[in-house]
Amino acid sequence: MTFFSKIIGTGSYLPPKKVSNQELTDQLAANGIETSDEWIFSRSGISSRHYAEVDVTSSDLAVEASKRAIDAAQLQPNDIDLIVLATSTPDFLGGFPSTACVLQNKLGITNGAAAMDVQAVCSGFMYALSIADSMIKAGTHKNVLVVGAEVFSRILNFEDRTTCVLFGDGAGAVVMSRSTEPGVLATKLHADGSYADILCVPGNVQAGVVAGSAFLYMDGQAVFKLAVSLLDKVANEALELAGLDSSQIDWLIPHQANIRIMQSTAKKMRLPMDKMVVTVDQHGNTSAASIPLALDQAVRDGRVRPGHTVLLEGVGGGFTWGAAIIKM
């Protein structure tokens, strides 16, 4: 028997605290760091982002997004038989135990559903979606909860204006289920560890204390150049696997990192800008959460509808990148 996987529900959640560029500028100025709304927006397209409160974890954000996705799928939590959660900011040090296991408990899933974390930074959701698709097509799982959840504000150095202005917190989720018709048409994933040092948190724990830095580091120019060169290539690889061309894509939903990277990709794909879903202006870069956040927003406002063909793509530290073609 041939199995297919299909997204049947989406959900997202942003912490209530919204921080505008001007508010962040004022905060940084108090620490002697100069920036401005214009400087941030002109370089990234970001106007605001959301920050979680100090006692809120990635799993807390994931719970809310997951509940909304499960409700949209018209399922109950115990219908879920696998959780794949992408995050770079796990609840516990070293991701031990996994945030996916913590999420399982908070959702009240008591059926023994498997649960695991995936670490591919901003490409994490692409990796998680591909894993879920493979598990469903293999016939081992029926309803898979795929989540991207981040509290990146915890690893930002607010004395480095080149990085701290770019990132925010949030979570997005989808429920993928066994289907009689194709939903995920193709996925393609890549990684190149030789670029590990251009986007990383270059610290580790030794004898219970942090050795090195616990803050995010990014070589912005190197990341920008690499992302621009890779995204259209992996998108075209996924299109070829799906037997489609870019003219058949209804919506492009890229990782929401930088509007200039996103616009460059759309241009190379010969897709009009009005076919690209943009949330980076209001959310900032939410890493593994950005693609499912944008997808859920577009589903709920009526842009992405059943039958639409959507191209998802992302890049992240590692260096990792990937794309998927899905039919809603």
pLDDT attached to residue 247: 95
For residues 25-43, give the mean pLDDT.
Answer: 93
Q: What is the pLDDT of residues 236-269, one digit of tens each?
A: 999 999 999 999 999 999 999 999 999 999 999 9
E strands, the chain, are 4-13, 17-20, 48-51, 82-86, 114-118, 143-151, 169-179, 184-191, 199-200, 203-206, 209-212, 217-218, 251-254, 309-316, 320-327
6 band by pLDDT with thresholds 50, 70 and 90: very high
Token pair belonging to 276: 């690209």
- Is domain 185-327 classified as CATH 3.40.630.30? no
| pLDDT, mean of residues 160-175 | 96
- C-beta separation of 152 from 216 below 8 A: yes
- The CA distances from residue 13 to 22, 58, 77, 139, 316, in Å, are 23, 11, 17, 30, 21
pLDDT at residue 31, rounded to an integer? 85
Q: Which residues are catalytic?
A: 122, 255, 285
What confidence tens digit (pLDDT) does each residue in 181-233 have? 999 999 999 999 999 999 999 999 999 899 999 999 999 999 999 999 999 99
Supply the CATH classification number for the domain 4-180.
3.40.47.10
β-strands 320-327, 184-191 pairing = antiparallel
Q: Where are the beta strands (DSSP E) in 119-168?
A: 143-151
The C-alpha R_g of the chain, in whole angstroms, comes to 19
pLDDT digit string, tens, across residues 66-109: 999 999 999 999 999 999 999 999 999 889 999 999 999 999 99
Cα 200 to Cα 18, 71, 214, 269, 297: the distances in Å are 25, 36, 10, 29, 29
Rounded mean pLDDT of the chain?
97
pLDDT at 2: 87
| Distance set, CA 186 to CA 234, 250, 267 (Å) | 11, 16, 22
Domain residue ranges in the chain: 4-180, 185-327
- The answer to whether domain 4-180 and domain 185-327 are alike in fold is yes
Place of tokens 């493979």: 134
Question: Could you give phi then psi for residue 231, rounded to 5 degrees?
Answer: -65, -45
- Report the distance separating Cα 194 and Cα 58, nearest Å: 29
Placement of tokens 């890549």 in the chain = 190
pLDDT surpasses 90 at 1: no
Specify the pTM. Answer: 0.97
Q: What percent of the chain has pLDDT over 70?
A: 100
